[in-house]
Amino acid sequence: MPKIKGNLIIGQSGGATAVINSSLAGAVAEALRHEEVGEIYGMLDGVQGLLQEQLIDLRAQVGTPQKLDELKHTPSAALGMCRYKLNDSERERILAILKKYNIRYFLYAGGNDSADTCHRLDLMSREAGYELHAIGIPKTIDNDLPQMDHCPGYGSIARFLAIATQDSGIDSQAAHLVHPIKLIEVMGRNAGWVAASAVLGKRREEDAPHLIYTPERRLDPARFLQDVQEVYKKYGYCVAVIGETVRGPDGKTLGTQAEPYLVDSFGHKYYHGPAHYLMGLIIKELGITARYDKPGTIQRMSMLCASPVDLDEAWEAGAVAARRAIGGETGLMVTLLRGQDENGGYKCEYGVTALENIANTEHKMPVSYINAAGNFVTQDFIDYALPLIGGPIPAYLKLDRAALVKTSL
Amino acid sequence: MPKIKGNLIIGQSGGATAVINSSLAGAVAEALRHEEVGEIYGMLDGVQGLLQEQLIDLRAQVGTPQKLDELKHTPSAALGMCRYKLNDSERERILAILKKYNIRYFLYAGGNDSADTCHRLDLMSREAGYELHAIGIPKTIDNDLPQMDHCPGYGSIARFLAIATQDSGIDSQAAHLVHPIKLIEVMGRNAGWVAASAVLGKRREEDAPHLIYTPERRLDPARFLQDVQEVYKKYGYCVAVIGETVRGPDGKTLGTQAEPYLVDSFGHKYYHGPAHYLMGLIIKELGITARYDKPGTIQRMSMLCASPVDLDEAWEAGAVAARRAIGGETGLMVTLLRGQDENGGYKCEYGVTALENIANTEHKMPVSYINAAGNFVTQDFIDYALPLIGGPIPAYLKLDRAALVKTSL
């Protein structure tokens, strides 16, 4: 019977997703299976809470299969999150806390900033000669972490946007006499993975979305107006999806060319996004009624729209991290890689990479996923992304508007 | 065996909902049962399409139980909609079309503008001595039609917002160190039914939403800031729901006091809504980070969030309309009334009222549904609305943040 080697702690960091609690549940489930793990702590609000000794007992709170399943199906970060950069002056403080609670396994779910935090903690403890096994669990809806095929959280925002764009499409077609142009501004930091995912509910050429603009390509407003008008002429309506950081010809995010609508007391400037700017252009230049939707935070943490594939993979990513840490490894982040099942279909495999390979690096969409005109995605992208949302979304009935009744009366 | 008396036509009008196709399906299903009904036509884009003889054959396109069930579960208006006021000069044209297609049953799903259209058509045909049975099917997410307990479409937007607000709440609590204040601006024309529905996922006092502002009460910005700060001090975060037409002390919609951000070529002015204005106030006056979400059209036609009760009632409202028309009645709109089942629980009963009682009248929230401070709803409202969304929404797991680990080391 192995001796208890120490306690395990887990934290969540950065913008929450629909499945980050599934990673938490997977890690706890795995930790429960290892006798060398004593307490299983959750840190509230990431390392910022850890610095204040805000620890809760996860073994007591979610240590049963039923509670873990409930946790898996709870969106957003149950432990709370932070955006906090550990600095060297906090080194002694944090090491003292790790020692005080006899923490030997440190798991941290987040994106590249969180990988940086986990990496620093690993270095600090090595330098101090304190044995700590620190492993990162990938998490970001942006899908922009390097060294991996895709990131937990992405499949679920992709499924949300596939459904929301399909819904917006049939609504815009129904309202073509009143509101024919709909823009949808979506998240995605500096990469277009999220915007691109709006295509995943499209079945016919005339279906929404008709246009997709990702931050990888600059958007020329004159060309954009041409694109919209062409689609509108062809189908009588148009749905265009715009990444929230799409840049204009000057390289700046569209919308920031105007004056900020607000400047706060710290001097931070608040600007409208690209969709607001482009909607104004359509109304003024084309004289067509246009609207935009900006789904907001709901897009990244809707449990109703969560991808079942993403939910399961996030769990497994958490479990792998716990297993690796308990097995004695450190300084790594779990990676999700694309394998093949026995029928040549999609299968996720799990690996690791050094945390320093993740921190402060962004993985953008490859050229082959964006069409030549820069206003849509390619079939290669669809083939890549469709398995991540758990296959096609439910289809709706579509009436044949062209089959008009002829009467000889 | 009854002789075929004529053909039936059905149209959809005004902003689409998640369940307006369920009414269409219910009406078609009922019409299929009556041998006196010949053709079953759908008019594309409401009366605007009818004026252009844009008719499709619904018996051919959805005349099977399976197709009708698919139609029931398709959100938005499958036939297309319009916002078009019939004028007297079109009287001859529209009567000629009704005669040409031998239309004797006219069903029209919509809100009060659509009731007005249906009413005009009824009068026109009476005056011309043309036998037409025109019945309205109620439809509006705004829930503001008079003469009825509630409207088809409301239960589904209410369920969407109950879920979205619960999701936003746990997300805002998780992000309390970074983004503690969240405003959600929702639809609802001049009544607060939609804003109020955000409460329906709330279980504990500390859960979101903490504040709800409806258009029935004017919002005093200074008082609003006090409200937000009190909640923030108490819980460390705050989620406030704002109706899109909430008015300030001057009686004008909040946001329209500023300059319009856009004026189109017709001179229409575009203003930011109340949430945009109030977010700015919080940032400037309280110095706290605030954000707002405006779910947009997705809130009113999400099938994933549709209320099963609403879906079934919308079907039945369509069926009742068809039955009444075929039975020889005209000039009426179907109403949804609150009855009781044998156990004293919720039950919907169906009645009718004259179309002229519906047209151009709005039913606002009663005083007893809004608290004295005007910043939340009452238990009476919750008791009224909860059955309409099909009962409580799924609960999430919540970790106990207060149960901090104490260590004696």
d(CA B173, CA B180): 7
CB neighbour list of residue A300: distance below 8 Å, 6 or more residues apart: A15, A16, A17, A18, A141, A153, A156, A157, A160, A187
The nearest alpha carbon in chain B to A70 belongs to B397
Q: Flag if B56 and A405 touch (Cβ within 8 Å).
A: yes
- CB contacts of A405 in chain B (<8 Å) are 39, 41, 55-57, 101
* Of the partner residues B163, B176, B401, the one whose CB lies closest to the CB of residue A56: B401
Check whether A162 has a pLDDT greater than 70: yes
- Report the alpha-carbon distance of residue A352 to residue A367 in Å, rounded: 26
| φ/ψ (deg, to 5) at B375 | -125, 20
| Mean pLDDT of the region A236-259 | 96
Is B146 among the domain residues?
no
For a pLDDT cut of 70, what percent of chain A falls above it? 99
Interface predicted TM-score of the whole assembly (ipTM), two decimals = 0.95
Whole-angstrom distance, CA of residue A134 vs CA of residue A139: 16
The answer on pLDDT for A149 being more than 90 is yes
Which residues of A are less than 8 Å from B42 in CB distance?
A: 399
B142 is an active site residue: yes
Chain B residues touching A304 at Cβ < 8 A? 163, 304-305
Distance CA A11, CA A329 (A): 18
In what order do the strands lie in the sheet containing B103-110? Answer: B55-57, B37-43, B6-12, B103-110, B133-138, B332-340, B346-354
Q: Look at residue B200 and tell me if it is in a domain.
A: yes
The domain that holds B256 is classified in CATH as: 3.40.50.460
- The predicted pLDDT at position A408 comes to 58
Chain A nearest-CA distance from B156, in A, is 14
CA distance A336 to A153: 12
Minimum-distance CB partner of A403 among B57, B177, B182: B57
Chain A nearest C-alpha distance from B98 (Å): 12
Count of C-beta atoms within a 10 Å radius of residue B379: 11
- Residue B396 in any domain: the answer is no
Calculate the CA B132 to chain-centre distance. Answer: 29
A112 and A18 within one domain: yes
User: Dihedral of CA A97/A99/A100/A104: which sign?
Assistant: positive
Listed residues A358, A374, A403: the one ending a domain: A358
**Which of these, B6, B97, B111, lies nearest to B48 by C-alpha position?**
B97
Q: Inspect the interface and report whether the beta carbons of A182 and B283 lie closer than 8 Å.
A: no
Other CB atoms within 10 A of residue B260 CB: 13
Best residue in B39, B73, B167 to probe A by mutation, most A CBs within 10 Å? Answer: B167
| Contact at CB, B301 and A175, closer than 8 angstroms | no
Instruction: Specify whether B64 is located in the same domain as B131.
Output: yes
Supply the pLDDT for residue B272.
93
Instruction: Name the average pLDDT for chain A.
Output: 95
| Inter-chain touch A397–B74, beta carbons under 8 Å | yes
Residue of B45, B116, B142, B310 marked catalytic = B142
Do A259 and A377 share a structural domain?
yes
> Same domain for B225 and B314?
no
- Nearest Cα to A200, choosing from A238, A144, A160? A160
Quick one: B159 and B117 in the same domain? Answer: no
**Distance between CA atoms of residues A335 and A27, nearest Å:** 15
pLDDT at residue B3 in the model: 63
What pLDDT, in 10s, does the model give residues A15-29? 999 999 999 999 999
* Chain B residues whose beta carbon lies within 8 Å of the beta carbon of residue A303: 167, 396
Cβ distance of A399 and B67 shorter than 8 Å: no
Q: Are residues B202 and B121 in the same domain?
A: no
DSSP assigned state of B284 = I
Nearest to B399 among A79, A164, A401 (CB): A79
Residue B394, pLDDT score: 87
Please tell me whether residues A122 and A178 are part of one structural domain: no
Surface-to-core class of residue B173, CB atoms within 10 Å of its CB (0-12 exposed, 13-18 middle, 19+ buried)? buried
* Domain shared by B134 and B278, yes or no: no
Would residue B299 count as lying in a domain?
no
Q: Within this chain, do residues A168 and A285 fall inside the same structural domain, yes or no?
A: yes
Reported as a single tens digit per residue, the pLDDT across A183-205 is 999 999 899 999 999 999 999 99
Q: Do A303 and B167 touch (CB under 8 A)?
A: yes
Provide the domain limits for residue B102. 6-141+304-358
Confidence at residue A331, expressed as pLDDT on a 0 to 100 scale: 97
Query: Looking at residue A334, what is its pLDDT?
Result: 98
Residues A75 and A169 in one domain: no
B409 lies in some domain: no
CB A119, CB A362: distance < 8 Å: no
Compute CA distances B69 → A166, A248, B59, B66, B334, whole Å: 19, 46, 14, 5, 22
Nearest Cα to Cα of residue A182 among A210, A202, A214, A216: A210
Smallest CA–CA distance from B395 into chain A, residue: A74
> Do residue B297 and residue A168 have CB atoms under 8 angstroms apart?
yes
Query: What pLDDT score does A359 carry?
Result: 82
For residues B197-206, b (16+ Cβ closer than 10 Å) or e, as one string?
Answer: bbbbbbeeee
Catalytic residue among A122, A142, A144, A310: A142
Q: A383 and A254 in one domain?
A: yes
CB B183 within 8 A of CB B242: yes
Per-residue pLDDT of chain B (409 residues; tens, 9 = 90+): 456 789 999 999 999 999 999 999 999 999 999 999 999 999 999 999 999 999 999 999 999 999 999 999 999 999 999 999 888 899 999 999 999 999 999 999 999 899 999 999 999 999 999 999 999 999 999 999 999 999 999 999 999 999 999 999 999 999 999 999 999 999 998 999 999 999 999 999 999 999 999 999 999 999 999 999 999 999 999 999 999 999 999 999 999 999 999 998 888 999 999 999 999 999 999 999 999 999 888 899 999 999 999 999 999 999 999 999 999 999 999 999 999 999 999 999 999 999 999 987 899 999 999 999 999 999 999 999 999 999 889 899 999 999 999 875 5
Confidence of residue A1 (pLDDT cuts 50, 70, 90): very low
Has residue A136 got a pLDDT over 50?
A: yes
Query: Residue B2 has what pLDDT?
Result: 54
Q: Which residues of B touch A396 (CB under 8 A)?
A: 70, 73-75, 303
B395 within some domain = no
Q: Judge if A265 and A128 occupy the same domain.
A: no
Domain membership of residue A346 (yes or no) is yes
At residue B37's C-alpha, the angle toward residues B49 and B318, to 5°, is 65
CATH number for the domain including A132?
3.40.50.450
What are B211-249's pLDDT values in tens digits? Answer: 999 999 999 999 999 999 999 999 999 999 999 999 999
Does B24 map to a domain?
yes
Is pLDDT above 80 for A146? Answer: yes
Cβ-based contacts of A203 with chain B (< 8 Å) = none
Segment A347-402, tens digit of pLDDT = 999 999 999 999 878 999 999 999 999 999 999 999 999 999 998 898 999 999 99
Q: Region A210-223: what's the mean pLDDT?
A: 97
- The pLDDT value recorded for residue A2 is 55
Distance in angstroms (rounded) separating the CA atoms of residues B169 and B183: 10
pLDDT tens per residue across span A103-114: 999 999 999 899
- The total domain count for chain A is 2
Q: Are the beta carbons of B138 and B351 closer than 8 angstroms?
A: no
Give the closest-approach CA distance of B15 to chain A in angstroms: 8
